[in-house]
Chain A
Amino acid sequence: MTTPPTPTPTPTPAPRWRALTQHHLFWPVAVLVVLLLINVPFTPGFFSIKMTDGHLYGSLVSIVLFGSPLILVAVGMTLVIATGGIDLSVGAVVAITGALTCSYISDQADQDSLAGVFLAMGIGLVAAVVCGLWNGFLVARMGIQPIIATLIIMVAGRGVAQLITDGQIITINSEPYKLIGGGYWLTLPFSIFVVAAVVAITVALTRRTALGLLVESVGGNAEASRLVGIRSTRIKIMVYVFCALCAGIAGLMISSNTSAADGNNAGLWIELDAILAVVIGGTSLLGGRFSIGGTVVGALVIQTLTTTIYTIGVPTQTNLVFKAAVVIVVCLLQSPKFRTKVFGGRFGSGSGAKGGGASAGTPADTAQSTAAAPKMEVS
């Protein structure tokens, strides 16, 4: 019989607090709460929600409302990043979907016809799916690096969107379509329901099926996943399609909100914000473990940051500078190298255990595995 390994002495002081801080959502939520609280001295009644004309209004509602497209895109992006990939084309997909849908609706005699609107949305979303299939094909089948593969649609996609709208900003006047991004339902903005539905479906899709597990496995250790028989090609294609579909829904929402399709500016830089939201939410860019909840919080942090900058009277133009600061801080905190350098051994040992595992492998083979790691050959 084995002698049980001596349990590692857990430091007793305030174990509950410790468990709380170690929860993966702790830091994103903490940042969000701090950002929200900063607003209070500047906007009295920041947290209050008023009912006007049967609609709820308030800062919190508008944060969620304005953040909706970003949440959608970021949720899709989370799965892509979890497989160790990245999708730069989502902004272009947003533009294409909006452009197709709006141009179809604008060609209709009756823009309020429900059937027409649904068909238009269907066409837009099919285009998004096609983009996703293309990305997935390049990444999973052709073995092209995700950054490079998705760059193609990022570059060409806006051109396509402008081609569809003929370089104009297409404005439409369709009541049913307006609902998605600008309407209200049960006192709340309808887009909140859309976001809630997509998030719920994503969570169900990943956690009620085995998709989440397989995605995390592929992103966490690609070779082990191959040897365990996971068909990673299919999973990757699926994830890129899903990401594009989310971007497509965001495209519908953005164009619906403004009742217009702008091939040039719709969803501009949303891919960067989405990646940022995923990273803030605690999903590593290297792939593996992902957290949809974290991503939603991350997207809300970004939106709250924008709102906060506005309300506390800092010129809005500094928004981007703050965003840059957030990217740097989050990435530095996630970098094991930075933690060892700045915080010394405390964090360093922790990350060492994470990377090396607590196995009794000989030092030689640990060294070998690090030596083998450095760079993916030109493949």
Chain B
Amino acid sequence: MSTTAQPPQTQNSGKTATGAASAASKAARLLADRRLPVVVTATLFVVMYLVGLGRYQNFGFAEPQVFLNLFIDNGYLLVAAVGATFVILSGGIDLSVGSVIGFTTMLTAWLVEKQGLPVIVVIPIALGVGAFGGFLMGYVIHNFEIQPFIVTLAGLFLFRGLCLVISKESIAITDSSVSSMAQAQAQLGVGFLSVGAIIALVVLAVAFYVLHYTRFGRRVYAIGGNEHSAMLMGLPQGGTKIAVYTVSGFCSALAGLLFTLYIQSGDPLHATGMELDAIAAVVIGGTLLTGGSGYVVGTLFGVLVLGLIKSIIQFEGTLSSWWTKIATGVLLCAFILIQRAMTARKKT
């Protein structure tokens, strides 16, 4: 579709031309649509699910609870991946996710078990620490123009180190309020969801709203699309960048809380390398690693696909857990190549 050099004297003819042109371009645009990767991932999920249904029908795969368990077992990953989506959309990367999650489990367990603080006090502390950590990283990235990769790498070391500083041993959580929260279930008729899964879905909804219906969300896309332009357009790109890492830190801490709830212990080695799972989920969900394009809904499907791989491998029985990593890597590769092909075509 190109500009038309038609004279503007008759507004009406202009209008019809607009209609015709947009109809003609619609088909062409479908191919270049930014939603395409999300659709691909969603389709992949459905196909995998159907294949699972076919193969393991007799082993209870068709139970609705198997589907709901995807949310229960991966709620924390979804929250972490949502945080990572913000960072990646803005064109950055956050390697500290796994460490912040691990640190949060340790901090929570330590405060609750060793210091005897009530859970209701511990939660805001944990979230605040995570968000503050993210803020600091964002501040350094923006103000000193150091690559996000390196700054968040320092964050990875720092938080993992702080885990070990709290304790080398894992701390089991026996607090009754925690375990009652962990056991709480929301019945849905066909099955149930845990507190963690519900919180994860709420986070997803909030993230969707923020990214699509607030100026901050649009700025995230803008600086991911072209940071220099965003600056020349008068957008506060520095504040946005810092905010993005703060959001990621907050989400990681929240994911840490959910993980604590899920596993009911703090351990200095919890969630090692989970940043890779989060990044993989974001990329498989169709978000460009170079920033500026993608949807948080895609991230949901990315997490679900990763979760489904795990379930299928469990159901398969003969397959070992490492196939999860291999399958993740293969999917990652496929999506990176798809993205590459899409951006390459746009260039021409």
Residues of A within 8 A of B (CB): 86, 142-145, 147-149, 151-160, 162-163, 166-167, 263, 272, 275-276, 279, 285, 315, 317-325, 327-328, 331-332, 334-338, 341, 371, 374-379
CB–CB B329/A155 < 8 A: yes
Bound: A322/B330 CA distance, A: 36
Q: Does B31 contact A (CB under 8 A)?
A: no
The residues of B that contact A275 with a CB separation of less than 8 Å are: 150, 153
Contact B321 A378 (CB under 8 A): no
User: B321–A167 contact, CB under 8 A?
Assistant: yes
15 A-B pairs besides A159-B325, A285-B147, A320-B157 with CB distance below 8 A are: A144-B340, A147-B93, A160-B326, A162-B325, A163-B320, A163-B322, A167-B321, A315-B165, A321-B162, A324-B155, A327-B153, A328-B154, A335-B144, A378-B288, A379-B347
Binds A, one of B20-28, B50-58, B171-179, B289-297: B289-297
Chain A CB count within 10 A is highest, among B154, B289, B292, B323, for: B154
B-side contacts of A375, CB under 8 Å:
91, 226-228
Give the contacting residue for A144; candidates B140, B293, B320, B336; CB below 8 A.
B336
Which residue from B91, B321, B332 sits with its C-beta under 8 Å from A151?
B332
Q: Is the interface on chain B under 10, 10 to 19, 20 to 34, or 35 or more residues?
A: 35 or more
> Nearest-CB distance from B156 to chain A (Å)?
7
Q: Contacts A142-B340, A375-B227: A153 and B329 contacting too (C-beta < 8 A)?
A: yes
Known contacts A156-B325, A158-B325, A285-B150; is-contact A321 B158 (Cβ 8 Å): yes
A244 to chain B, nearest CB (A): 16
Q: In the complex the two chains form, what is the Cα distance from A275 to B158 in whole Å?
A: 16
Name the CB-closest residue of B to A134: B333
Query: Chain A contacts of B291 at CB under 8 A?
Result: 378
Q: Could you tell me if B336 and A279 are in contact, using CB atoms closer than 8 angstroms?
A: no
Beta-carbon contact of B320 and A166 below 8 Å: yes
Bound together, the chains give a CA A263 to CA B320 distance in angstroms of 13
Complex-state Cα separation, A152 to B326, whole angstroms:
9
**A157 pairs with B155, CB closer than 8 A:** no
25 interchain pairs, CB-CB under 8 A: A142-B337, A147-B149, A151-B276, A151-B279, A155-B325, A159-B326, A159-B329, A163-B320, A163-B326, A167-B321, A272-B157, A317-B164, A317-B168, A318-B161, A318-B165, A320-B158, A321-B157, A323-B161, A324-B154, A324-B156, A324-B161, A335-B145, A335-B146, A337-B143, A371-B228
Confirm or deny: B100 has a beta carbon within 8 angstroms of a beta carbon on chain A.
no
Distance in angstroms between the alpha carbons of A318 and B157 in the assembled complex: 10
B151 at the interface (CB under 8 A from A): yes
B328 at the binding interface (Cβ < 8 Å): yes
Q: Write the nearest CB–CB distance from A144 to chain B, whole angstroms.
A: 6
The answer, yes or no, to whether B343 is at the interface (CB within 8 Å) is yes
- Provide the bound-state CA to CA distance between A217 and B124, in Å: 51
Chain B residues with CB below 8 A from A162, complex form:
320-322, 325
A338→B91 CA distance, assembly (Å): 22
Find out whether the CB atom of A155 lies under 8 angstroms from the CB atom of B145.
no
A324 with B328: in contact, given A151-B279, A159-B322 (CB under 8 Å)? no
Q: Nearest Cβ distance between residue A269 and chain B, in whole angstroms? A: 9
Bound Cα distance A376, B291 (Å): 11
Show the binding face of B for A, using Cβ within 8 Å.
91, 93, 140, 143-147, 149-151, 153-158, 160-162, 164-165, 168, 225-228, 268, 276, 279-280, 288-293, 320-330, 332-333, 336-337, 340, 343, 346-347
The 5 closest A-B pairs by CB, nearest first: A156-B329, A159-B325, A320-B161, A317-B164, A321-B161
Please indicate the chain B residues that have their CB under 8 angstroms from the CB of A377 in the complex: 226
Chain A residues with CB under 8 A of B156 = 272, 324
Knowing A285-B150, A327-B157, A332-B146 are in contact, say whether A155-B340 is a contact too (CB < 8 A): no
Q: Could you tell me the distance in whole angstroms from the C-beta of B125 to the nearest C-beta in chain A?
A: 20
CB proximity of B149 to chain A, nearest CB, Å? 6
Q: Contact: A155 with B150, CB < 8 Å?
A: no
Max chain B C-beta neighbours (<10 A), residue from A145, A317, A376: A317
CB distance from B242 to the nearest CB of A (A): 15
What A residues does B327 contact at CB under 8 A?
159
Smallest CB-CB separation from B155: which chain A residue? A324
Chain A residues with CB under 8 A of B321? 162, 167
- With contact pairs A142-B337, A163-B326, A317-B161 given, residues A331 and B228 touching in the complex (Cβ less than 8 Å): no
Kindly state the separation between the CA atoms of A263 and B325 in the bound complex, as whole angstroms.
12
Q: B343–A331 contact, CB under 8 A?
A: no
Please, which residues of chain A bring their CB within 8 A of the CB of B268?
317
Give every chain B residue within 8 A of A152 (Cβ-Cβ). Answer: 329, 332-333, 336
Give Cα A331 to B91, complex, Å.
20
Shortest beta-carbon distance from B66 to chain A in Å? 24
Kindly list chain A residues whose C-beta atoms are within 8 Å of the C-beta of B293: 378
B154 adjacent to A154 (CB under 8 Å): no
Closest chain B residue, CB of each to CB of A158? B325
Bound-complex Cα distance A332 to B147 (A)? 11
Nearest CB of A to B285, in Å? 15
Give the nearest-CB partner of A286 in chain B: B147
Asked if B228 contacts A374 (CB within 8 A), the reply is: yes
Determine the distance from Cα of A276 to Cα of B156 in the docked complex, in whole angstroms: 13
Tell whether, in the assembled complex, residue A158 and residue B165 are in contact, meaning their CB atoms are under 8 Å apart: no
